[in-house]
Structure 1
Amino acid sequence: MSEPPPDAVVDAPAERYVLRQELTLAVNRYEVVRADERGRQLGLLCFAEQDRTAAREQVTFYTDAAKEHPLFGFQARRRLDLGTTYDVTDSHGQPIGWFKKRFSASPVSSTWTLGLPDGRQFVGRERNTTVAVARRLWEVVPVVGDLPGPFLLHVDFVSADGRVALSATTRAGVRGVHRVTLPAQEDGRSIDWRVGMAMAVALDALTSR
């Protein structure tokens, strides 16, 4: 599958989000913010807090600080299995999508499959292979690999006919800010934003695994 051009998702009608990440010694906090076409942040939609010492197989997003009202989340079907499928569910536990990391697809760049209940599937790959190699080398260096890398992480999820459904970018030098674009599909609508943001969090939390 050929790589989309750099502006593949810029001019198309799209939903845009910012995933902000705050790192502390104990907790990873992810905040989902809606953005306009210029990237300006419009307001907090939901958040998740994850114990950094806990397993990363489950993440739940809430609408309130008391964590009494879950909105969506994802969970691994099998714990401690790097190749397992992760189910994305709504506030009632009903499936709204799934994703899976494909370790055998590429020895260099991270590759994922993202699926929807209607049967549509999208393959996600890092756009720049050279950057992917540099990022992997950074991760295996002792001590240095534990620090945030200075590399751009840009992953595009593309359908079989070449249509981009999700584009996630972490800007080089801006640790903890991820910009997510969900372009309109053939039916004129973007994929479910909850599935898109669950995938964006997984790209951050699980890419190095």
Structure 2
Amino acid sequence: MTDANVPPAPARAPQHLPRFFVKQRITLGVNRYEIRAANPDGSEGRIIGMAQQKRFALKEQVTFYADEQRTQPVFSFRARQVMDLAAIYDVTDGQGVALGWFQKDFTASLLRSSFHLAGPGIDAYGQERNQAIALIRRFVDLPFSFHFDFTDKTSGRVVMSSERQFSLRDRYTVDVPDERVDYRLAAAMAVGLDALLGR
């Protein structure tokens, strides 16, 4: 699947991070997300993005900001279609320039949550690693740990992975071994996983 809105592929994404963390804070009416870079020792580092998602929005848009006051937009993602379970979500930088897109594979996700992910030079497909956990989650409402791997459709190499920790609050470790993947696209996908898994 290709898209004319995705720019040509660079050798390395302008803003690549090999690892970062995503945390969710649940508040009245919105889901709040905090993205932190990883320090060299693997601990949580500086905040690189903060976002909130309105619940039950008809045409969803999630904007990430560099600060708590939400004065400096860093990137965002927005659904192209209203109330579409297989909607495409466009990811753009703070100036509205396209970074890529992602889409839930609704049919495949009935048994195992699956997503398409595309960006400059990237055409990847992601699924839950553990089929058994994927099935159990559909019948038991518990905060299971689970792991998504996104692999390049041509080479089969992992371009990104997102692992949810076992906790009452959602916390994800996101690894991006492929230098072509901009952290903003990867972060949008990681938050999209959290936001869309319940649908």
TM-score range, shorter chain: 0.7 to 0.9
* Structure 2 CA distance for partners of 1:84 and 1:53, relative to 1, 3 Å: closer
Contact 1:157 1:166 in 2 (8 A): yes
Shift, 1:25, TM fit: 2.4
1:207 correspondence with 2:185: no
1:50 correspondence with 2:53: yes
Shift, 1:15, TM fit: 0.8
Q: Which residue of 2 aligns with 1:59?
A: 62
Gaps of 5+ in 1: 1-13, 139-144
Q: Secondary structure at the match of 1:137?
A: coil
Q: How does 1:117-156 map to 2 (within 5 A)?
A: 117-118=120-121, 120-138=122-140, 145=141, 149-156=142-149
Q: RMSD of the alignment, in Å?
A: 1.7
* Structure 2 CA distance for partners of 1:134 and 1:122, relative to 1, 3 Å: same
| Number of equivalences | 182
Alpha-carbon deviations, 1:14-62, whole Å to 9, x = none? 7110101111223311011001354301111110022335347210001
Q: Which residue of 2 aligns with 1:112?
A: 115
Q: Separation in 2 of the partners of 1:107 and 1:53?
A: 21
Q: Separation in 1 of the partners of 2:60 and 2:170?
A: 20
Deviates more, 1:165-174 or 1:155-164: 165-174
Alpha-carbon deviations, 1:67-112, whole Å to 9, x = none? 2211101001111111111100011111111001111235311010
Report % sequence identity: 41
Structure 1 residue identity aligned to 2:186: G
1:19 correspondence with 2:22: yes
Q: Separation in 1 of the partners of 2:107 and 2:69?
A: 41
Q: Separation in 1 of the partners of 2:102 and 2:90?
A: 7
Q: How does 1:88-103 map to 2 (within 5 A)?
A: 88-103=91-106
Q: Secondary structure at the match of 1:60?
A: strand
The alignment's TM-score, normalised by the length of structure 2, stands at: 0.85
Contact 2:87 2:103 in 1 (8 A): yes
Q: Which residue of 1 aligns with 2:165?
A: 171
* Structure 2 CA distance for partners of 1:44 and 1:126, relative to 1, 3 Å: same
Contact 2:21 2:36 in 1 (8 A): yes
* Structure 2 CA distance for partners of 1:75 and 1:107, relative to 1, 3 Å: same
In the alignment, which of 144, 152, 160 is matched to residue 159 of structure 1?
Answer: 152
Q: Separation in 2 of the partners of 1:104 and 1:53?
A: 22
Q: Secondary structure at the match of 1:19?
A: strand
Gaps of 5+ in 2: 1-16
In the alignment, which of 176, 186, 197 is matched to residue 182 of structure 1?
Answer: 176
Contact 1:25 1:52 in 2 (8 A): no
Higher relative contact order (CA 8 A, sep 6+): 2
